[in-house]
């Protein structure tokens, strides 16, 4: 299932059920799982692991060395989870030694055309990155988050799970889980209620998250004051605890 014009290093480890299209280039060491389809002109550089049943469309570049001045040609990696779709002209760079050595895309993600994932980014499960969204280095994106088209995210920013970032936004601080953010520079616009309902959140959970959001962002408290009030007044469900833990652990500051 390898097209005769493709160039595949004999040492690359491809499952027998992998399909490789015309003029693709696959170097080594690389591992590709069963059922994955590599489209025409895709380039997969060394130290890349791709899970099963992925689909990588034409002209994508996976595992190129990072665009980082500190990079010293050290051995670092890219890991892509199973059942992930990577559309045309997506670029995913390897990690760096100073950033942990791994760029990771989780299972069942959807990376639309021209998306860029820089070195040492960690993307969770079922994340959607819309067309031309651009991730600088060391970014973390939680499970089920959605990033709109033409969004630029500053290095070291964290995006919480189930967050939604509107198109053409510039994100320079952390986006908490479960919220909507948009704008240049991005600001918060309430809970991602539609997305949460689609993913099975109950009315009771939504009510507690709304109360938490209001205390933290709507009544003029400092962040520490708001956290103390949430701990005192809101039931500590896993979602609420996740929200508070994210706020406490922020290094860049939280988008307000």
Residues identified as active-site: 119-120, 137
**3-class DSSP state of 2:** strand
Q: Region of 106 please: left (phi>0), alpha (psi -120 to 50) or beta.
A: beta
**Which segments of 2-90 are extended strands (E)?**
7-8, 13-14, 19-20, 25-26, 30-32, 37-38, 43-44, 48-50, 55-56, 61-64, 77-80, 85-86
**3-class DSSP state of 18:** coil
User: What span, in angstroms and rounded, lies between the C-alpha atoms of 158 and 171?
Assistant: 10
Task: Please name the residue that has the structure tokens 């009030």.
Answer: 229
Residue 234 per-residue DSSP state: S
User: What span, in angstroms and rounded, lies between the C-alpha atoms of 90 and 73?
Assistant: 22
User: What span, in angstroms and rounded, lies between the C-alpha atoms of 19 and 126?
Assistant: 23
Task: Please name the residue that has the structure tokens 């969004």.
Answer: 151
């Amino acid at each position: 299932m390898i097209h005769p014009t493709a160039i595949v290093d004999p040492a690359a480890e491809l499952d027998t059920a992998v399909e490789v299209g015309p003029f693709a280039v696959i170097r080594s060491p690389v591992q590709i799982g069963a059922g994955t389809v590599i489209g025409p002109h895709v380039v997969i550089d060394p130290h890349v692991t791709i899970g099963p049943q992925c689909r990588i469309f034409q002209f994508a570049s996976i595992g190129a060395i990072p665009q980082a001045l500190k990079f010293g040609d050290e051995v670092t990696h890219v890991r892509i989870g199973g059942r992930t779709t990577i559309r045309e002209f997506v670029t995913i760079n390897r990690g760096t030694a100073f950033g942990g050595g791994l760029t990771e895309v989780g299972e069942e993600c959807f990376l639309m055309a021209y998306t860029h994932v820089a070195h040492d980014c960690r993307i969770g499960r079922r994340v959607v990155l819309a067309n031309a969204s651009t991730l600088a280095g060391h970014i973390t994106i939680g499970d089920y988050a959605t990033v709109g088209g033409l969004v630029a995210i500053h290095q070291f920013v964290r995006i919480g799970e189930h967050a939604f970032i509107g198109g053409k936004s510039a994100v320079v601080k952390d986006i908490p889980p479960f919220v909507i953010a948009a704008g240049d520079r991005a600001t918060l616009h309430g809970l991602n209620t539609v997305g949460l309902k689609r993913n099975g959140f109950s009315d009771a959970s939504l009510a507690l998250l709304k109360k938490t959001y209001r205390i933290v962002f709507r009544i003029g408290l400092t962040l520490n004051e708001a956290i103390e009030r949430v701990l005192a007044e809101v039931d500590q469900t896993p979602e609420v605890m996740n929200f508070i833990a994210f706020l406490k652990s922020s290094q860049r500051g939280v988008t307000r």
